[in-house]
Amino acid sequence: MRWLKTFILAALASGSATNAARADVVPNPLFSDNMVLQRGSALPIWGKADPGEQIQVTLERKAPGEAAVAASGTTADKDGNWKVTLPEQKAGDGYSLTIKGKNAIDLKNVAVGDVWICSGQSNMQWTLSALTKDEQGKKAAAAATNPNLRLFSVQRRPMPEPQATVPVTANEGKWLPCTPETAINFSAVGYFFGRDIQKDQNVPVGLINTSYGGTPAEAWTSKEGLLKEKDLVYYVDRVELGKKSYDADKVKAAHEVAIEKWKKDLSAAKAASKPLPRQPQMPGPGNITAGSPTGLYNGMIAPLLPFAVKGAIWYQGESNAGRAAEYRKLMPALIKDWREKWGSELPFFMVQLAPFKGGASGVDYAELRDAQLHSTQALPKVGIAIITDVGDETDIHPQRKEPVGQRLALSARAIAYGQKLDYEGPEFKAMKVEGDKAMLSFENGGLVCKGDSLAGFQIAGEDKVFHPATAEMKGATVVVSSDKVSKPWAVRYGWVNFAKPELNFFNKAGLPAVPFRTDDLPLTTAQPPAAAVAPKKKAG
């Protein structure tokens, strides 16, 4: 009967191990060594433990000449969830966070400063390692060592319901110090933004990269956020229809067919030195993919709540470019949704789409840019980085990411931090007609032409047909005309996907002018939504 004794001992050991594991208090992955907590804000801290377990949380700093201690206790609920809220703390490093239950966890190298969400699609996801032209990414990473800049990456995953936590891997779901080794695989836009904010504010800065290439804005919006806008409710209907029609066996079979086709297309693309096709994604429960409404909010935003943050930066729009008219409602809905979830008027800064050849209409990107600008006008504490000078006609992922991060940081410094500085290029203010000329005035002046003459202007008469125009600067005014228009009716600037020649209208601070139109003609992307048909997905 020796085998029975051995089995019983093993079972008892296994049970003891299981009980010990269940007894361990576990903080949410957002709380780890090297983390940054938000200054000037109450600090929610939460995790899991045994139901009824007593939890004590202590944040302590022992700095030369000063000491600070904040503590709070609670009891885990019937599901083992616990949360405490610590009072706001002074910016600085050298903090430690201790969480005690039946065990104790000591988190070290904790800092208090500013935490920023970095989200969007592939141009936000694009890492420093992807900036191969002139080895710019490699050079930036080599100089990235900064103990007061910390990086947190969220695993890319769409989910059918809001999640409470994020997966933890070697490089995801934990805070990492900014070093050449960690920066090289982090968001390039996020890094350049964080680098400039940290230098300007001289406090620790934490960056949470939660981005996913090829994804639309509705995927990043919660069910509740979509339901609050009547013209967006059909997205929720689509999700519910997908859940009802989900057949795991059929989905798996269809995915296998798609994979086989992808393998053939991949081989052909490699042989022809063409861009490689994206590997098909296996839809999750409820037919949830990266493009599904609410899916990325559930898997990549909900798990971050209610972690205290300073604000968010956003680079997205390519996947909504065919629906720019709708984006005028969708993007404000997303911002309001996040603000409600975080319980604050979260400062929000987006990147206007870079010049790119775009779709067949030739203006779908222009219309999307205008929809992005509309969000800054519809809501407070929203800024935009104009990047008409850093695009690539044939590459949806332009290599120049440093100016993008720098301009986001300028916008944040002005709006989120209240600094008086030039952070916007010339923005159309008013037009008046004098004979055959349109006289345009602008905000954010000090107008500059980087070239022999201004490019990118169009003018239309009462027939509403637009023609390339001559534009001249006269002091603070731009005079626009064409020998084909005797009585100007409207003017457009940069109203194309990719301008040739490149747009060259700036201000003295070196910031490009905001593309605009003075007319209100119907957008080419104005179309009624198809309630149960997924929109065509674009790369990016």
**Residue 452's pLDDT band (boundaries 50, 70, 90)?**
very high
Which sequence spans correspond to the domains of the chain? 427-513
Under 8 Å between Cβ of 99 and 57: yes
Which one is predicted more confidently, 240 or 329? 329
Predicted pLDDT of residue 253: 84
Give 78-118 pLDDT, tens digit per residue: 999 999 999 999 999 999 999 999 999 999 999 999 999 99
Provide the terminal-to-terminal Cα distance of the chain, rounded to the nearest Å: 65
Predicted pLDDT of residue 18: 40
- Supply the mean pLDDT for the chain: 91
Under 8 Å between Cβ of 353 and 372: yes
| Phi, psi angle pair for 136, to nearest 5° | -65, -40
**Residue 274's pLDDT band (boundaries 50, 70, 90)?**
low
Predicted pLDDT of residue 163: 96
Predicted pLDDT of residue 23: 56
Identify the helix (H) or strand (E) that includes residue 340: helix 324-342
Res 439 pLDDT > 80: yes
Res 316 pLDDT > 80: yes
Helices (H), 116-247: 122-125, 136-142, 180-183, 188-201, 223-227, 233-244
- Dihedral sign, Cα of residue 167, residue 168, residue 172, residue 174: positive
Q: Which of 125-134, 245-254, 338-347 has the lowest mean pLDDT?
A: 245-254
Res 16 pLDDT > 60: no
Determine the average pLDDT of the residues in 229-257: 85
- 3-class DSSP state of 251: helix
Res 285 pLDDT > 70: no
Res 41 pLDDT > 70: yes
**Residue 248's pLDDT band (boundaries 50, 70, 90)?**
confident
Give the C-alpha separation, 250 to 245, whole Å.
Answer: 10
Predicted pLDDT of residue 12: 41
- Residue whose tokens read 């050449």: 180
Q: Which of 119-133, 201-215, 233-247, 388-402 has the lowest mean pLDDT?
A: 233-247
Give 494-518 pLDDT, tens digit per residue: 999 999 999 999 999 999 999 999 9
* Residues above pLDDT 70, as percent of the chain: 91
Task: Identify the DSSP state of 321.
Answer: G
Res 272 pLDDT > 80: no
- 3-class DSSP state of 263: helix
Res 159 pLDDT > 80: yes
